[in-house]
Amino acid sequence: MTAAQAPAGTSPSRDEAAARRAILPHRSYRTLPSTATGAFAALACTVLVELALALYFAPLARTLTRADASVLQRMGFPVGLESTAFLGKALTALTFTMPVHRYLELVLWILACLAGIVVFTVLKSPPAPLRYFVNFNLLIVCSEATYLLFAGHLGYSARGFSVLMLRTMIVTWFVIPAFVGAMVALFPFRAWETAAVIVVCVGYDFLLEGVRYAAFAALLTHTGPILMSDLFLLYGPLLDIIPIIGIFAIALAYLSRRMQTSVGAWEWL
């Protein structure tokens, strides 16, 4: 017999390398074609974002603080604004007052925290990491209450805390592009994807920082300084990076999906 005529396009490829690329490498043999484009895009984007931040962080921070103050005032929280400076730029920080804790109150806080720690140590039903996290919070509050009991006051007043938060916010803005840029440089994102990930992370952090600054001020006007160190240490800069990794993870999942359907994207070891 003789075979039928083949339509154009079904003939074997003339590209020798295509022969190997036709098969998706097993995960243990996979690697990526080394390219400086991704790294360059990440570096360039990071530098640009850092430059933009250096130029505009002060007006941005002022805008956020004013927005926070305006929203909180409308909601009836007793907050105001005052001038401060950081990295040579004039800024505005939220001002608020906190109730003062009496000795008995502090003792009760200490006892309640200790009781909570005992309960969450004995309890077995919530998953261990959750119990550890609750206990850690309680431990910090308990430590702070003890410190307050003996020292009489914390190292930070309401104003000091507000300035600290504001400065932390700005430092975090500067750190995030470098951190995210270093991470995305490792992956074969397209240049616009690299830029998008960095910009989205920074943009998201503006929002998070702004909302958090307001939330902390509102909380402290009600609770007093007892929660101050817990808020800063566990829900301060530590917290920023978790959703940033969340955004990074979403980008990675998108990238991974694209890579799995594109056999030619991979190289064999």
The alpha carbon of 229 is separated from its chain's Cα centroid by a whole number of angstroms, namely 19
DSSP code per residue over 238-261? HHHHHHHHHHHHHHHHHHHHHHHT
Instruction: Name the residue nearer to another protein (CB basis): 104 or 128.
Output: 128
> Site for another protein (CB under 8 A): how many residues?
96
Question: Minimum distance between the CB of residue 48 and another protein, rounded to whole angstroms?
Answer: 21
- Told to check if 252 binds another protein by CB under 8 A, we report yes
One-letter amino acid at 184 equals V
Question: Minimum distance between the CB of residue 27 and another protein, rounded to whole angstroms?
Answer: 5
Among the residue ranges 41-49, 57-65, 100-108, 162-170, the one whose residues contact another protein (CB under 8 A): 162-170
**What is d(CA 103, CA 106) in angstroms, rounded to the nearest whole number?**
5
- Please say whether the beta carbons of 79 and 93 come within 8 A: no
> Which residues, numbered 75-94, are part of the site for another protein (CB under 8 A)?
75-77
Instruction: Name the residue nearer to another protein (CB basis): 55 or 207.
Output: 207
Within 10 Å of residue 54's Cβ, how many Cβ atoms? 12
Instruction: Name the residue nearer to another protein (CB basis): 62 or 212.
Output: 212
Tell me which residue of 68, 94, 63 sits closest to 81, measured CA to CA: 94
Instruction: Name the residue nearer to another protein (CB basis): 62 or 205.
Output: 205
Phi, psi values for residue 163, rounded to 5°: -65, -40
What is the length of the chain? Answer: 269
> Which residues, numbered 198-217, are part of the site for another protein (CB under 8 A)?
204, 207-208, 211-212, 214-215
> Which residues, numbered 12-51, are part of the site for another protein (CB under 8 A)?
12-14, 16, 18-20, 22-23, 26-35
Long-range contacts of 72-75 (CB under 8 A, 24+ apart): 72/214, 72/217, 72/218, 75/218
- Told to check if 5 binds another protein by CB under 8 A, we report yes
Classify burial at 69, counting beta carbons within 10 Å of its beta carbon; exposed 0-12, middle 13-18, buried 19 or more: buried
Question: Minimum distance between the CB of residue 85 and another protein, rounded to whole angstroms?
Answer: 14
> Which residues, numbered 118-147, are part of the site for another protein (CB under 8 A)?
127-129, 132-133, 136, 140, 143-144, 147
Question: Minimum distance between the CB of residue 192 and another protein, rounded to whole angstroms?
Answer: 19
SS3 percent helix, strand, coil of the chain, rounded to 5, is 70, 5, 20
- Told to check if 3 binds another protein by CB under 8 A, we report yes
Instruction: Name the residue nearer to another protein (CB basis): 79 or 195.
Output: 79
Q: Which parts of the chain fold into alpha helices (H)? A: 16-21, 36-74, 103-122, 128-151, 158-184, 191-223, 228-235, 237-260
Q: What is the gyration radius of the CA atoms in the chain, in angstroms?
A: 27
x/- letters, 45..74, toward another protein (CB under 8 A): ---------------------------x--
- Told to check if 1 binds another protein by CB under 8 A, we report yes
